[in-house]
Amino acid sequence: MSKAQKQWIDTAVAALDKAYVPYSKFPVGACLVTEDGKIYQGLNIENASYGLSNCAERTAIFKAVSEGERNFQHLVVAGHTPNPISPCGACRQVIAEFCSPDMVVTLIGDNGVEKEMTVAELLPYSFTDEDL
Ligand code: THU
């Protein structure tokens, strides 16, 4: 693993301690990496009106996109889960909007369990702008 890849994982794992999860107590962390190597950290942010909660992946993507970023090379998602965390369906759709189908996503759980998948593997037969 390169030094950069280790930093991406460390950034996603460090976000777990900053997640705002008073209701679910289920922290999720993310690290989105731009094509030129800039990193955007994401974490889940919940709300007393539960449905307004925002997932870690979407926090990272919205932070990056709102700063003008459009090209990404990697996403790491981390959770305190026995298996590598599984991104929710809504996040898969948002990931597919901004990341190319062959971009690799690293999913991390507790005890260093790790799984790598492409965006297309995470969301096969996705709805895209070509379907409009
Ligand atoms: N959550 C994420 O942040 N990302 C996912 O992909 C799965 C779910 C959050 C939403 C909520 O704050 C908590 O995990 C429990 O569902």
State pLDDT tens for residues 17-27.
999 999 999 99
pLDDT at 43: 99
pLDDT at 115: 98
pLDDT at 49: 98
Residues catalogued as catalytic:
57
pLDDT at 34: 98
pLDDT at 8: 98
Q: Which residues lie with the beta carbon below 6 Å from any ligand 1 atom?
A: 21, 24, 26, 28, 44, 46, 53, 55-57, 87-88, 91
* Phi, psi for residue 73 in degrees, rounded to 5: -115, -20
Convert the pLDDT of each residue in 87-123 to its tens digit: 999 999 999 999 999 999 999 999 989 999 999 999 9
Q: In what order do the strands lie in the sheet with 72-79?
A: 39-43, 28-34, 72-79, 104-108, 114-118
Convert the pLDDT of each residue in 32-72 to its tens digit: 999 999 999 999 999 999 999 999 999 999 999 999 999 99
